């Protein structure tokens, strides 16, 4: 398709279609073309969008989801994608994850692990490294904030109760919840996950800061230690 977008019939132009019918009528490539705004000589933005999406075709995350797993250098390998467009695409991916969290936030209930999983799902399920987060709560189970404790393999020899409870004391938290992801997509807790949970739970008993749950995020799946009866016994 060597035509420019302006040379296409108006009914085939993504921008005009969006103005007339709304963004929901656009295909994935058309949405991407609107964001890209322009192509390069001999390759309009719609063709460029299709080239980007084709890079993800044979991956574990084909289509738009694949953009979340592509680095800026990967995107810049496409002719017509420079640093600015690559950064824009990565920021759009991040924006989509934050919007998903914002939608889930009002329904967040610390007595319902599924709401915690939904809050973190889009943020964590695309990560290629394990990330461990501690959620900090006050005496009325109000959310005081969160802190990321580690990025990489969650290892009981590296993650110490001291790190968790330093954050808890800083926020004057009365209880905490651990959340981390499994990049494999399978949220089944490992032996290491169980050891971390046990150590932090027991340390919290001494300090008077209760570990309420440990939620492991997979790909559209989660496991809650609390729901599964896997929390250490009192």
Same domain, 80 and 138: no
Across the chain, mean pLDDT equals 87
The whole-number pLDDT of residue 157 equals 46
Tokens of 171: 């926020």
Pick left, alpha or beta for residue 133 (phi over 0 → left; psi -120 to 50 → alpha; otherwise beta): beta
Same domain, 64 and 148: no
For residue 79, being part of any structural domain is answered with yes
Same domain, 40 and 135: no
User: Average of pLDDT values for 37-51?
Assistant: 81
End position of a domain, from candidates 79, 100, 121: 100
Same domain, 126 and 151: yes
- Regarding pTM above 0.75, the answer is yes
User: Within a 10 A sphere around the Cβ of 206, how many other Cβ atoms?
Assistant: 9
Same domain, 66 and 166: no
Same domain, 66 and 37: yes
End position of a domain, from candidates 100, 126, 157: 100
Q: Over the Cα atoms of the chain, what is R_g?
A: 22
Same domain, 135 and 44: no
pLDDT at 1 exceeding the cut of 60: no
Same domain, 38 and 82: yes
Same domain, 83 and 127: no
For residue 196, being part of any structural domain is answered with yes
pLDDT grade for 170, boundaries at 50, 70 and 90: very high
What phi and psi, each to the nearest 5 degrees, are found at residue 228?
A: -85, 5
Same domain, 114 and 90: no
pLDDT grade for 133, boundaries at 50, 70 and 90: very high
End position of a domain, from candidates 100, 121, 147: 100
Tokens of 195: 């050891």
Of 78-92, 110-124, 199-213, least confident by mean pLDDT is 78-92
Same domain, 117 and 189: yes
The whole-number pLDDT of residue 2 equals 55
**pLDDT tens readout for residues 188-227:** 999 999 999 999 999 999 999 999 999 999 999 999 999 9
The torsion of the CA quartet 182, 186, 187, 193, rounded to 10 degrees, works out to -60
64-108-165 Cα angle (round to 5):
105
The whole-number pLDDT of residue 128 equals 85
pLDDT grade for 35, boundaries at 50, 70 and 90: confident
CATH at residue 135: 3.40.140.10
Give the span between the Cα atoms of 51 and 33, in whole angstroms.
Answer: 11
**Are the C-beta atoms of residues 218 and 212 closer than 8 Å to each other?**
no
pLDDT > 90 in the chain, percent? 42
**Are the C-beta atoms of residues 46 and 30 closer than 8 Å to each other?**
yes
206 or 47, greater pLDDT = 206
Which residue, among 161, 150, 218, 220, has the nearest Cα to 190 in the 3D structure?
Answer: 218
Tokens of 20: 């007339």
Domain housing 34: 5-100
Give the span between the Cα atoms of 204 and 209, in whole angstroms.
Answer: 5
For residue 202, being part of any structural domain is answered with yes
Q: What is the CA 195 to chain-centroid distance, rounded?
A: 25
pLDDT at 230 exceeding the cut of 60: yes
For residue 137, being part of any structural domain is answered with yes
pLDDT at 156 exceeding the cut of 70: no
Same domain, 122 and 44: no
- What is the domain count for the chain? 2
């Amino acid at each position: 398709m060597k035509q420019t977008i302006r040379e296409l019939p108006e009914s085939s132009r993504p921008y005009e279609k969006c103005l007339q019918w709304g963004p929901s009528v656009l295909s994935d490539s058309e949405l991407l073309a609107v964001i890209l705004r322009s192509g390069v000589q001999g390759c309009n933005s719609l063709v460029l969008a299709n080239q980007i999406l084709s890079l993800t075709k044979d991956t574990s995350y084909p289509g738009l989801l694949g953009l979340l797993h592509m680095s800026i250098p990967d995107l810049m390998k496409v002719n017509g994608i420079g640093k600015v467009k690559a950064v824009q695409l990565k920021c759009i991916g991040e924006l989509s994850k934050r919007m998903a969290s914002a939608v889930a936030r009002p329904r967040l209930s610390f007595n319902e692990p599924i709401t915690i999983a939904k809050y973190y799902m889009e943020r964590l399920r695309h990560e290629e490294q394990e990330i461990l987060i501690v959620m900090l709560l006050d005496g009325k189970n109000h959310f005081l904030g969160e802190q990321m404790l580690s990025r990489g393999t969650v290892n009981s020899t590296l993650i110490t109760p001291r790190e968790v409870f330093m954050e808890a004391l800083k926020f004057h938290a009365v209880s905490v919840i651990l959340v981390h992801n499994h990049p494999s997509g399978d949220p089944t807790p490992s032996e290491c996950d169980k050891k971390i949970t046990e150590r932090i739970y027991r340390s919290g008993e001494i300090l008077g800061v209760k570990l309420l749950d440990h939620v492991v995020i997979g790909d559209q799946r989660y496991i809650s230690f609390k729901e599964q009866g896997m929390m250490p016994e009192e």
